[in-house]
Amino acid sequence: MTSHIDLAQRLIQRAARNAPGALAARLEEEWLADLAARSGTLARLRLAIGCWWATGVITRDFAVPQVATSGGRAGARALLGEVRADFPILSRRTLTFLLIAGFHLLLIYALASGLAQRGATSLPQISPAVVTQEIRPQRPTPPQVDIHIKSPVIPTTQQDLRRIADFDLRPQDEPATAVPTGPEITATDPPQPPVIQRIQGGPGKGFPNTDDFYPSASRRLAETGATTVQVCVDAEGRLSGDPIIARSSGIRRLDDGALNLAKAGSGHYRPSTENGRPVSSCYPYRIRFSLHD
Partner 1 sequence: MGKKSSDVRMSLQTLRVLEAFLENPTAELAGSDVQKRGQLASGTLYPILLRLETAGWFVSRWETIDPARVGRPRRRLYRLTPSGLARASEVFASFGRGVPA
The residue from 31, 213, 269, 285 that contacts partner 1 (CB under 8 A) is 31
**Within 13 Å of residue 155, how many CA atoms lie on the same side as its CB?**
12
Q: Tell me: does residue 27 bind partner 1 (CB under 8 A).
A: yes
Binding segment (CB under 8 A) for partner 1, from list 61-69, 156-164, 179-187, 203-211: 61-69
Binding segment (CB under 8 A) for partner 1, from list 36-44, 142-150, 233-241, 243-251: 36-44
CB 200 within 8 A of CB 235: no
Closest CA to 261 of 284, 226, 287, 236: 287
Closest CA to 249 of 276, 218, 280, 209: 218
Q: Tell me: does residue 61 bind partner 1 (CB under 8 A).
A: yes
What Cα–Cα distance (Å) separates residue 63 from each residue in 26, 58, 66, 86, 291? 18, 8, 9, 11, 131
CB of 23 to partner 1, least distance (A): 8
Closest CA to 202 of 262, 242, 157: 262
- Per CB under 8 A, contacts with partner 1 among 235-274 are none
Q: Tell me: does residue 22 bind partner 1 (CB under 8 A).
A: no
Number of residues counted as binding partner 1 (CB under 8 A)? 34
The residue from 29, 166, 212, 274 that contacts partner 1 (CB under 8 A) is 29
Q: Which is nearer to partner 1, 47 or 258 (CB)?
A: 47
The residue from 54, 185, 239, 245 that contacts partner 1 (CB under 8 A) is 54
Amino acid identity of residue 129, one-letter, is A
Site string for partner 1, 72-91 (x = CB under 8 A): x-xxx--x------------
Closest CA to 173 of 205, 141, 151: 141
**Within 13 Å of residue 52, how many CA atoms lie on the same side as its CB?**
11
CB 30 within 8 A of CB 15: no
Query: Which positions touch partner 1 (CB under 8 A)?
Result: 23, 26-27, 29-34, 36-38, 46-47, 49-54, 57-58, 61, 66-72, 74-76, 79
